[in-house]
Chain A
Amino acid sequence: MALSVDIQKQLGSFCLQVRFEAGDERLALLGASGCGKSVTLRCVAGILTPDEGRVVLDGVTLFDSAAKIDLPPQRRKVGYLFQQYALFPNMTVAQNIAAAVRDRSAREETVSRLVRRFRLEGVSRQKPGQLSGGQQQRAALARILASEPRTLLLDEPFSALDSYLKYQLELELMETLDQFSGTVLWVSHDRGEVFRSCQRVCVIDRGQSCPVQDLSQLFHNPGTESAARLSGCKNFAGAVPQGERIFLPEWNLTLDWARPVPEGIIRMGVRAHFVHIAEPGEQNAFPCQVTRVVEDVFNTVVILRPEGAVPGAPPLRMELDKMAWRALPARERITVSIEPRDILLFEE
């Protein structure tokens, strides 16, 4: 049971080039908006036709440009959860689900089973427009499962919902997905959502896919600057390798990396919450001016300017606990440090 995708598609000046393999797992396609995640899903579902490449699901070739195979969406057995759910507004919830049942003799039984499973009993005779966002999502999932898909494609499943609903629905969706034995592709731009819901991730950056990686790898060793950005890293600067150290010309700093820095490294990154107030005598410590303090809900965000920074250098962002920030005796000029293992290095 696996899904293998290797496709290219030119859309105006935008070139999509995506390649990944997924087993019976939840694979996230993570990327900024407009990077081609949804186009990729549409190509897998057969709604869009790639220019070149192959899509194979459980040994069945859905698309192969060389062999001129292009199965219509009806025959791909792919469950597509649209961003706004795409429930038929002219039909009731029960009719929506019934529309997806292929086996006519089992239609009534399947509908009532799914209505019960997704707790839609009270609304099964209502039109989608009368349902709450959460009920709409459940109805859409019920309809997709009624068509007995071999794979599920989720296109930003929570983008249509208020954030307070999101967390509860995320748990519900996870329960549904746990009972599904097949590949799930989960398109998202939200690293938190991906981290909570998926096992592996394929980062898509401006139409180009990166190799599939484990989630822990994405957060500890993202490999590229864009992957690091998507994983939530906020500080980036130019870097010059110097043995086991790196020199950062913009901040006029030299930091210890504690192991040989590969040749070809030209950029570095560090997560805002790994920048911390330096203990006396700690390595990689450097003094900074505080240029701005922003109070977030649980954190304090401190925008810093390393004292040696050249004009036009990017600011350094530090995030720390509100209490820890208030406990500091001096808050205009502070000494911070970054541990060697928290420094991410990039070649691109």
Chain B
Amino acid sequence: MDWYPLLNSLRIAAISTGIVFFLGIAAAHWIAKLPRTVKGVLDVALTLPLVLPPTVVGWLLLLLLGPKRPLGAWVQSVFGLRLVMTWQSAIFATVVVSFPLMYRTARGAFESFDKNLADAGRTLGRSNSWVFWRVQMPCCKQGILAGMVLAFARALGEYGATSMVAGYTPGRTATISTTVYQLWRTGDDAGALGWVLVNIALSAAFLLAINLLESRQRERR
């Protein structure tokens, strides 16, 4: 069995979770400070990928990144890089699709953060960034961790947008989800079953890890 799809799925999900961690937290942090009307509009725009069908997201991404589109063509001519149909292209898809999960959970965590703690830090002479990284983030740790878990799971299971942006090339862009589809389509039920079992095992292990983490945190409190 060629393990490439497993490796590829894991690295795409891990990198995209890393990116989404910073993007989601930055968005949650800055949007919380905006006036209510602007906040409402941005909130809808940033949450939209959560409710759009992944194919719509994929189509929009191709519109932006395709080799004949302005941005895609420019990157190709200046850096010689192709933005679609590589394994890295899938990261665009998973970032867009999992971003709202991170953004919304981080925002919820920040909203329940006691603002007096930040004000206390500032009157004691500490900088805003010290207060953010040393007080606010640790206090919101659980919500942010939950957001990362959701974003990672969503990225791992991504199919629609990924298959449109990265396609399916065995050994190059194949992920677990696109491999299962391909094997089923070509009538290789045994191969598909193998990957289905791998995926179920992976997801179960993942959920188990989350539960362990949660119970350990509850004990520490």
Measured CB to CB, the residues of A under 8 A from B are 42, 45-47, 72-80, 82, 84, 86-90, 99-100, 102, 143-144, 146-147
B187 at the interface (CB under 8 A from A): no
- For chain B residues 101-147, which have a beta carbon within 8 Å of chain A? 114, 116-117, 119-127, 134-135, 138-139, 141
Chain B contact-residue range equals 10 to 19
| Cβ–Cβ < 8 Å partners of B134 in chain A | 88, 99
| Besides the known contacts A80-B123, A147-B123, 6 further A-B residue pairs in the complex with CB atoms under 8 A apart | A73-B119, A75-B125, A79-B123, A88-B117, A100-B126, A147-B125
- In this complex, what residue of A is CB-closest to B127? A74
Name the distance in Å between B109's Cβ and chain A's nearest Cβ: 13
- 14 example contacts (A-B, Cβ-Cβ < 8 A) are as follows A74-B125, A74-B126, A76-B123, A77-B125, A78-B123, A82-B116, A82-B119, A86-B116, A87-B120, A88-B134, A89-B139, A90-B139, A90-B141, A146-B124
| Cβ–Cβ < 8 Å partners of A147 in chain B | 123-125
| Cβ–Cβ < 8 Å partners of B116 in chain A | 82, 84, 86
| Cβ–Cβ < 8 Å partners of A88 in chain B | 117, 120-121, 134-135, 139
Given A88-B135, A90-B138, A90-B139, the answer on whether A45 and B121 have CB atoms closer than 8 Å is: no
Say yes or no: B122 contacts A72, CB within 8 Å: yes
Say yes or no: A47 contacts B117, CB within 8 Å: no
> How far, in whole Å, are A46 and B122 apart by their CA atoms in the complex?
9
Which residue in B122, B125, B135, B138 is a CB contact (below 8 Å) of A102?
B125
Name the distance in Å between A44's Cβ and chain B's nearest Cβ: 10
Name the distance in Å between A227's Cβ and chain B's nearest Cβ: 30
| Cβ–Cβ < 8 Å partners of B120 in chain A | 80, 82, 86-88
| Cβ–Cβ < 8 Å partners of B124 in chain A | 99-100, 143-144, 146-147
> How far, in whole Å, are A80 and B117 apart by their CA atoms in the complex?
11
Which residue in B119, B126, B127, B141 is a CB contact (below 8 Å) of A47?
B119
Q: How many A-B residue pairs have CB under 8 A?
A: 62
| Cβ–Cβ < 8 Å partners of B139 in chain A | 88-90
| Cβ–Cβ < 8 Å partners of B117 in chain A | 86, 88-89
Given A88-B117, A88-B135, the answer on whether A45 and B125 have CB atoms closer than 8 Å is: no
> How far, in whole Å, are A144 and B124 apart by their CA atoms in the complex?
7
> How far, in whole Å, are A100 and B131 apart by their CA atoms in the complex?
12
Say yes or no: B135 contacts A73, CB within 8 Å: no
Name the distance in Å between A94's Cβ and chain B's nearest Cβ: 15
| Cβ–Cβ < 8 Å partners of A72 in chain B | 122
Name the distance in Å between A143's Cβ and chain B's nearest Cβ: 7
Which residue in B114, B123, B126, B141 is a CB contact (below 8 Å) of A46?
B123
| Cβ–Cβ < 8 Å partners of A102 in chain B | 125
| Cβ–Cβ < 8 Å partners of A42 in chain B | 119
- In this complex, what residue of B is CB-closest to A72? B122
Name the distance in Å between A39's Cβ and chain B's nearest Cβ: 13
Closest 10 CB pairs of A and B: A86-B120, A90-B138, A100-B124, A73-B122, A86-B116, A80-B123, A147-B124, A47-B119, A73-B123, A74-B125
> How far, in whole Å, are A42 and B118 apart by their CA atoms in the complex?
13
- In this complex, what residue of A is CB-closest to B120? A86
> How far, in whole Å, are A79 and B120 apart by their CA atoms in the complex?
9
> How far, in whole Å, are A88 and B127 apart by their CA atoms in the complex?
15
Name the distance in Å between A231's Cβ and chain B's nearest Cβ: 30
Name the distance in Å between A249's Cβ and chain B's nearest Cβ: 49
> How far, in whole Å, are A89 and B116 apart by their CA atoms in the complex?
12
Contact with A along B136-163 (1 / 0, CB 8 A): 0011010000000000000000000000
> How far, in whole Å, are A180 and B187 apart by their CA atoms in the complex?
83
